[in-house]
Structure 1
């Protein structure tokens, strides 16, 4: 199931590879170019008032199984993005990740694990905490 609760999406591609997955995009979220890969019955949840730049990629799995000693080692995981999250261009969000509300993900960052602090900037490969206790605004009047 795909739930679009309002907002704006340009150049959004949703690739549902298996049964049982949900994609939810919250109200007032804007997406200017993203590819969502939904596999293994996992979900992608994007909160309200989020802002995605161009060429964003979210993947709930690797699309192919890897085994070691007869056991699978690369299970998928759902992705959850909180409210009012800004994701910079070319960022990649991988399986099993939680991004807290109020976060900013820097351009070309790779998020491979869940992030802990709300209202913080994360950037890099892999993404790490850069600044805490921040807030961000869409409105251009705040540019000084």
Structure 2
């Protein structure tokens, strides 16, 4: 029941603020309202008007987090975003996954997972992030990348499909 109420709350906030321009004040206000349903939400959480956030009760966010246009975050797993993380437009973060049963993914049980975006990281535009991801501190995930595993080298650029270490920053 709680999950359904949180989904309705998320829809309500998105609908209420949808036509309000993306000014820093309104993005912070939108973020504050989303933060009320989260496990933890730091200061200065900014969300653009057309970002889609589902599963808020499994989110833990630090301070100064920004979520860009058309970003979709959904699933039933756990999302941890540390301080000063930026997520560029059109990115997708999925914190759950389907499993196959009787040769079909339609009715298989959901596999819950975790995604961790460490302090100061930057997600480029059009990225896909799947469960099992850990992006280290002060790292960049290059545009159009797909990441689904943990990395541990901070201050680095990761890119590609699937993402791999490119260079130190």
Q: TM-score range by the shorter chain?
A: 0.7 to 0.9
Measured after TM superposition, the shift of residue 73 of structure 1 is 9.6
**Structure 2 regions of 5+ residues with no counterpart?**
1-36, 103-107
Residue 66 in structure 1 maps to residue 100 in structure 2 = yes
Choose between structure 1 and 2: higher helix proportion: 2
Aligned CA-pair RMSD: 2.3
Divergent runs of 4+, >4 A: none
Equivalent residues of 1:38, 1:44 under 8 A apart: no
| Higher normalized contact order (CA 8 Å, seq sep 6+, divided by chain length) | 1
Gaps of 5+ in 1: 135-144
Instruction: Name the counterpart of 1:9.
Output: 47
Length, aligned pairs only: 125
2:83 counterpart of 1:44? no
Q: Secondary structure at the match of 2:111?
A: coil
Normalising by structure 1, report the TM-score: 0.77
TM-score by length of 2: 0.66
What are the superposed Cα offsets for residues 101-141 of structure 1, whole Å, 9 maximum, x if unpaired? 11100001000111121110000000000012x2xxxxxxx
Specify the SS of the correspondent of 2:54: strand
d(CA) in 1 for partners of 2:130, 2:120? 19
- Larger fraction in strand: 1
In structure 2, the residue matched to 1:89 is: 125
The Cα offsets for residues 10-39 of structure 1, whole Å up to 9 and x where unpaired, read as: 13311229xxx5102211111113211121
